[in-house]
Amino acid sequence: MSAPEIHPSATVAESAKLACGVKVGAHAVVGEGVELGEGCVVHPHAVVCGPSQFGKGNVFYSFCAVGGDPQDYSFAGEITELVAGERNIFREYVSVSRGTKKGGGITRLGSENFLLAYSHIGHDCQIGSNNLFVNAATLAGHVTIEDFATVGALSPVHQFCRVGRYAYIGASTVITQDVPPFSRIVTERETKSFGANTIGLERKGFSPERIKVLQDAFRLLSRSKLNTSQALAEMRERLGASEDVRELVKFIESAERGIVK
């Protein structure tokens, strides 16, 4: 492979070690004690701190902060590490902290983990391989994630919890206990419809008559004793002259995942 390519505006510490084929983009930062394996790509404005070690083919997208100091009150500048395998993807605004002395000193990631935007790996976490961290998935310190697990969007995992292999954590699910391997964990959904968006529609210039028709349509849909098919038939018969109601009916009939009622 070719020698490292470093943009003139990038900052690369003297102690950093860049293998063949590494690319560092504009205004990116590669800090002291960072080791990047062959073919790693540090996109513009990404920050990679050390001491940290990364295998081949890791990709750091813009504005991620990987290998930073642990977010722990007891941290007093001790030398701790982040060690990662190969072909991990750190998307925009991802943050991964190094370990703490009391937690063993090392945060570890395996290979081929995919960390979507704003996800966070806390200090001293032990992460396996082939895991998916969806947008804003958040791991506190000392969490263990085995292999092939999914942590859904906006899902926090409490410190010291474990997530077993092939587990699936659905979006917005709070984890405070261990998640067994092969399991599916999802917070109960209580999302409900409260009818027409009357205030918003008024602000957008809808007339009182137009809003009244939509209110009647939503009453048929969610507050009558009719099922969805019956409510749609009634809406066509009683309110079908309204273009808004026709749009509402068409949308509901084309729903493939059901509708919120």
CATH topology of domain 198-253: Udp N-acetylglucosamine O-acyltransferase; Domain 2 (1.20.1180)
**In the 8-state DSSP scheme, what is residue 17?**
E
Q: How far apart are CA 248 and CA 193, in angstroms?
A: 14
Give pLDDT, residue 233. Answer: 96
Tokens 């209110």, located at residue: 215
Q: What would the two tokens of residue 61 be?
A: 């997208």
Q: pLDDT at residue 192 above 80?
A: yes
Residue range 189-211: mean pLDDT, rounded: 92
Q: pLDDT at residue 1 above 80?
A: no
Pick the catalytic residue: 124, 128, 142, 152?
124
Residue range 243-250: mean pLDDT, rounded: 96
Phi, psi (5° rounding) for residue 239? -125, 15
Q: How far apart are CA 10 and CA 195, in angstroms?
A: 53
Pick the catalytic residue: 43, 120, 123, 142?
123
Report the candidate in 81, 87, 84, 154 with the shortest Cα–Cα distance to residue 114.
87
Instruction: State the chain's mean pLDDT as an integer.
Output: 96
CA-CA-CA-CA dihedral for 205, 206, 209, 211, to nearest 10: -140
Tokens 């070719």, located at residue: 2
Q: pLDDT at residue 40 above 90?
A: yes
Q: pLDDT-derived band of residue 189, with 50, 70 and 90 as boundaries?
A: confident
Q: Which residues of 90-100 are buried (b: 16+ CB within 10 A; e: fewer)?
A: bbbbbbbbbbb
Q: How many CB atoms lie within 10 A of CB 83?
A: 18
Active site residue 123: yes
Give pLDDT, residue 225. Answer: 85
Higher model confidence: residue 102 or residue 190?
A: 102
Give pLDDT, residue 224. Answer: 80
Q: pLDDT at residue 21 above 80?
A: yes
Contact between 56 and 40 (Cβ < 8 Å) = yes
pLDDT digits (tens, 9 = 90+) for 89-136: 999 999 999 999 999 999 999 999 999 999 999 999 999 999 999 999
**If you compute the radius of gyration of the chain from its CA atoms, what whole number of angstroms results?**
25
Residue range 202-206: mean pLDDT, rounded: 95
| The amino acid at 203 | R
Residue range 149-158: mean pLDDT, rounded: 98
Residue range 212-219: mean pLDDT, rounded: 95
Report the candidate in 12, 47, 18, 46 with the shortest Cα–Cα distance to residue 32.
12
Residue range 232-236: mean pLDDT, rounded: 95
Q: What would the two tokens of residue 95 be?
A: 């943050």
Give pLDDT, residue 223. Answer: 78
Give pLDDT, residue 124. Answer: 98
Pick the catalytic residue: 43, 141, 142, 152?
141
Contact between 11 and 30 (Cβ < 8 Å) = yes
The residue extents of the domains of the chain are 5-185, 198-253
CATH superfamily for 5-185 is: Hexapeptide repeat proteins (2.160.10.10)
